[in-house]
Structure 1
Amino acid sequence: MPKMIFIERDGTRKEVEAPVGLSVLEIAHRNNIDIEGACEGSLACSTCHVIVADDWFETLEEASEDEEDMLDLAFGLTATSRLGCQIIITEEKDGLTVALPQETRNMLLD
C-alpha cells in the first residue's frame, strides 16, 4: 500500500498508509492529522490547504480553475500549495510529502 508523509505545523513528520483512491484530506482525517476540511471536500473552502514538497509538485495533475480560486483565499499560499481534497492517491504517489501551513482560514464561518 502506498504511504505518504505529513509534516505537521511543529515540524513533526508523520508517515501514514495512503490507500489508493482516497484524497489527502481523507487520509489526514483517518490519521488524526490537523486538517479541517470544513466543506468536506466539495471545493468550497481552503481549509484543507497543504504545501506539496517541491519534488512532488510537478508530478501532480494541474489544479483546476475552481481549485485555484479557492487557493486564492488560503493563508500562507506558496508556489506548491494545493487543496488536499483535490489530490487523489495513486500507486505513483507512494511517498507523497505535504506540509501543513501555519494557519488556515475558514470562510464558511466568517
Structure 2
Amino acid sequence: MAQIIVTDRKGETHALEAVEGWRVMEILRDYGVGVAGTCGGGCDCASCHVLVDEDWMDRLYPPREEEEFKLDELPMVQPNSRLSCQIIWDDSLDGLKLTLADY
C-alpha cells in the first residue's frame, strides 16, 4: 500500500498508509498525528497546514487561488507551505514527505 511519510510537531516520523482519492488531511487526521481538519477540507480553517518536502513540491498540483489566499493569512507560511486538505491522494504520491507546520 502507498504511504505518506509525516514528521509531527514533536519531530517524530510516521509512515501512514494512504487511500486513493482521499484528501491528505483526512489521512493525517484519521491517524491522529496532529491535524484537526476542523473545516472538513473546505480550505477554510488552515488547521491542516503542512510543509512539503522540497523534493515533492514540483510533483504536486500547484495551489489554487483559494488555497493561496488562506495561506497568506497564516503567520508562519513558508515557500513549501500547503494545506493538506487541498492535496488529493493518488498512488503517484507514494512516499510523499510532509512536516506538520507549527501554529
Would the TM-score normalized by the shorter structure come out above 0.5?
A: yes
Q: Which range is displaced more, 34-43 or 60-69?
A: 34-43
Structure 1: stretches of 5+ with no match in the other structure: 104-110
Q: What is the RMSD of the two structures over their aligned residues, measured on CA atoms?
A: 0.9
Identical aligned residues as a percent:
36
Structure 2: stretches of 5+ with no match in the other structure: none
Partner of 2:65: 65
TM-score when normalising by structure 1: 0.89
Partner of 2:74: 74
Letter in 1 for 2:35: I
Partners of 2:74 and 2:24 in 1: CA distance: 17
TM-score when normalising by structure 2: 0.95
- CA positional deviation for 1:8: 0.5
Partners of 2:100 and 2:29 in 1: CA distance: 13
The question of 1:48 aligning with 2:48 is answered: yes
Q: Which range is displaced more, 38-47 or 85-94?
A: 38-47
Question: 1:31-80: CA deviations, max 9, x gaps?
Answer: 11111112111111211110000000111001000000011122321101
Partners of 1:36 and 1:98 in 2: CA distance: 16
Equivalent residue of 1:70, what SS?
A: helix
Equivalent residue of 1:58, what SS?
A: helix
